[in-house]
Amino acid sequence: MMVRARLPVAAAFAALALAACSRADLTVSPDVVSGCTDVRGSVVSVAWDARSTDAKSVRIVLTRPGGGERPWMQGPPAGQRKTGPWAVDGLTFVLRDMQGRELARRTVESAACPRERGHG
C-alpha cells in the first residue's frame, strides 16, 4: 500500500522556488582571485541566464561577510558585465528576479599568495 503525504502550502512554494533556482545560471570568472594583501581587488566577469525562469528582468545584489545586500545591477534575464577592481574574497553575487526571489548565487574566493622570490 502506497501512502502519499500532502505537502503544506509553504513547503510546496519552497519547492517551486528551489526548482526556479536550479534553472538559472550565474557564473563569475575568475571565481578565485589573488589573496595577496597588496592587491586591493580584482576585476571579474559576471554572466547570468535566467531566461528559463520566465523572468522579464533580473537584478544582481552584492553581499560581503558581515554586511547586508547592496544593489549592483538590474537588466535583462541574460547578460554579462564586468566589475571594477573591487572583487575580493567572500564577495557574493546574488541573482534575483524582480519579486526578490533568489535564482542563483556565487561567491568569490581567494587563492593563497605565493611568497615573493628572494625573501625567506
- Give the mean model confidence (pLDDT) for residues 14-35: 74
pLDDT tens-digit series, residues 62-112: 999 888 999 999 999 999 999 999 999 999 999 999 999 999 999 999 888
Structure confidence at residue 6 (pLDDT): 45
pLDDT mean across residues, the chain: 82
Structure confidence at residue 94 (pLDDT): 97
- Give the mean model confidence (pLDDT) for residues 34-63: 91
Contact by Cβ (8 Å): 97, 74:
no
Cα(80)–Cα(67) distance, integer angstroms:
25
CATH class, 25-111 region = mainly beta
Structure confidence at residue 100 (pLDDT): 95
Please, which pLDDT band fits residue 113 given cuts at 50, 70 and 90? confident
Structure confidence at residue 65 (pLDDT): 85
Task: Give the CB-side neighbour count of residue 9, counting CA atoms within 13 A.
Answer: 0
What is the percent of the chain where pLDDT is above 90? 57
Task: Give the CB-side neighbour count of residue 68, counting CA atoms within 13 A.
Answer: 2
Structure confidence at residue 1 (pLDDT): 45
User: Where do the structural domains in the chain lie, given as residue ranges?
Assistant: 25-111
